A and B are shown apart, each in its own frame.
Chain A
Amino acid sequence: MQKHTFTISLFAGIFVLTAMAQFGVINQYLVSVIMLMGVNIMLSTSLNLVNGYMGEFSCGHGGFMCVGAYVSSIVTVLLFSKNHILGAPLLPPSLALFAFPLALFAGAAVAAVAGLVVAIPSFKTRGDYLAIITLAANYIVISAIDNMEIIGGPRGFMGMNATVNGMEGLLDIPWMLLWVLFGTVFTVWLLRRFVSSTLGKGVPAIAQDEIAAEIMSVDTNRMKLIAFMLSSGLAGLAGGLFAHILGYVNPHSFDIMKSTEVMVMVYLGGMGSLSGATLSAILFTVLLEVLRPLEIWKWVVIPLLLILLMQFRPEGIMGNKELSDLFPKLKKYYSFK
């Protein structure tokens, strides 16, 4: 029974949050902050696989998020909205509920393939040089979309609301909140299963001594392929959800600024800790909202906090420990595998 306590309370939490949003206990603003939190958790945990567990420095996570956002948006717009280029909707809105997860999956899959742009060079390149490649990958994605007039170019792309409306037409509950919460749980669950397996432990082995890893039978190229594709695929999933929360995407929402934000979350939380990345994503989202009255000055305050953090706790909030390492008693309830 205790083994399932965590899973049960997780799903109960999702249910309660959705019910509260449904009956107006929490207002629309709070709901959107929670959704943003979910997306940020997905981004920071997935980037942690590369920057934390594998010890590489990927600074192009926004690019993969962008791929996922655009691909899933194009799929849902093609299927459910009237668009002056893509034409009339192909499916009735009642099917939106079933097609939406497939569109998200398509976005994640294409983003994972885009991850190859970084994964293949990583076989031979490490450290600073690979960081530059990830940066280039980010720019390639943004510039390519900027130049695609068919999907709006720099003006952005919209029409995703039709899908959300379609789902709400079927049953009037806050669907996007539900999808984001499920997406977040799915992401952390998937990563958790991967990094706790013998297969997944090959990733930190590469970070700690790549030569020893290769000599001790770890196929380092395969591990890098898995790590980069899983990381970028989950970023793509987050991007798809993000696009459908806003109902509008613009390539410049995913530029180096976004990638930096995600990196800040990873280093704030602690490298190689999924609970750290989750906590820091929550904290970071709250911080952004709390400091909103400062307007543009918040971009002075937040980096300043980061400098202080690096000075006094360079390993991040959690170091490379998980919540269950710090509080062993939690292990009885906490078997999120």
Chain B
Amino acid sequence: MPLLEAKGLTRRFGGLIAVNDFNIELGEREMVALIGPNGAGKTTVFNLVSGFYQPSEGAITINGKDTRSMRPHQVTSLGVARTFQGIRLWGEMTVLDNIRVSQHYRAGYSLLDCFLRTKKYMGREAEIERVAWELLEAMDLKEYALELPRNLSYGLQRRVEIARAMSLKPSLLLLDEPAAGLNSADVEGLIKLVRWIHETFPVTIWMIEHQMKVVMSLCTRIKVVDFGATIADGTPTEIQANPAVIKAYLGDDTI
């Protein structure tokens, strides 16, 4: 059974077809890229998968569970975590708290447990805190634990956002343009980080990325979309030579 299966995924906004008959199957521990020109519907696909939009047609199953009619936080608890195109950390909360709140679904105690500080509450809170510190340690963010994200550099914020997504212990991690706005040194760091995550955790990584350097050095499979439709699907070398992809990116060469 594939980890993620999307069949005939279509999403319309009024008369605009943002995603048209999109199909994908992702297995365990894959690393796949979704590329395409601006406005091709890539982020809409991610929004559909993470439950933020409902598909107009088609279906998404995650670990065999149909996610239609699920709210985003329910999809997340199935093991889907994501980052955003623009960084969306909680800016007024410390880095540590950012990583604590994202484990909300793991809290699992009632309001009464919270008021009475029961054994269950103490146990769960200790577990959440332990996971947060471990992750910060592993991702070299420990020294920033008590900083506010808005005081950190863009590269570090990106790292915190990925750490926050990883705190959900996902089986599928969606990265929406992780290298956007990073300088070349940060991009190198990002490539190392993503590779390390992929080697260390049992996670499938699916990314949208414009920087070919990132895509080519990380992914084993690339899917190209344009105007909501899939135009190519294959290994990096296949995609590089695909005429349809070259046409979508560079335009028609007939004058």
Contacts and interface: CB of A to CB of B under 8 A. Distances in A.
Contact of B90 (A209, A214, A221): A209
A197 B93 contact: no
B71 A216 contact: no
Interface string A153-194: 000000000000000000000000000000000000010011
B92 A217 contact: no
Interface in B56-109: 71-73, 76-77, 81-82, 84, 88-93, 97, 100-107, 109
B206 interface: no
Contacts of B100: 198, 201
Nearest to B165: A216
Nearest to B71: A214
Contacts of B111: 194, 199, 226, 230
Given A201-B93, A205-B90, A213 B101 contact: yes
B88 A199 contact: no
The contact size tier of chain A is 20 to 34
Given A216-B76, A217-B73, A190 B90 contact: no
Contact of A197 (B52, B73, B106, B114): B114
Contact of B102 (A194, A204, A217, A272): A217
B84 A212 contact: yes
Contacts of A198: 100-101, 103-104, 107, 124-125, 128
A202 interface: yes
Contact of B52 (A205, A209, A211, A220): A211
A226 B115 CA distance: 13
B225 interface: no
Contacts of A211: 52, 88
B117 A217 contact: no
A215 B52 contact: yes
Contacts of A337: 117
B50 interface: yes
A89 interface: no
B125 A216 contact: no
A199 B107 contact: yes
Contacts of B92: 204, 208, 272, 320
A218 B81 CA distance: 12
B88 A218 contact: no
Interface in A259-280: 272
Contacts of B128: 198
A211 B88 CA distance: 9
A211 B52 CA distance: 9
A128 interface: no
Given A212-B84, A214-B71, A194 B114 contact: yes
Nearest to B97: A201
Report the 6 A-B pairs with minimum CB-CB distance, sorted nearest first: A217-B105, A216-B102, A212-B88, A208-B90, A217-B76, A218-B104
22 contacts: A193-B114, A194-B111, A198-B100, A198-B124, A199-B111, A199-B114, A201-B97, A202-B104, A205-B93, A208-B90, A215-B52, A215-B72, A215-B82, A216-B73, A216-B76, A216-B102, A216-B164, A217-B104, A218-B104, A220-B73, A226-B111, A230-B111
Interface of A: 190, 193-194, 197-202, 204-205, 208-209, 211-221, 226, 230, 272, 320, 337
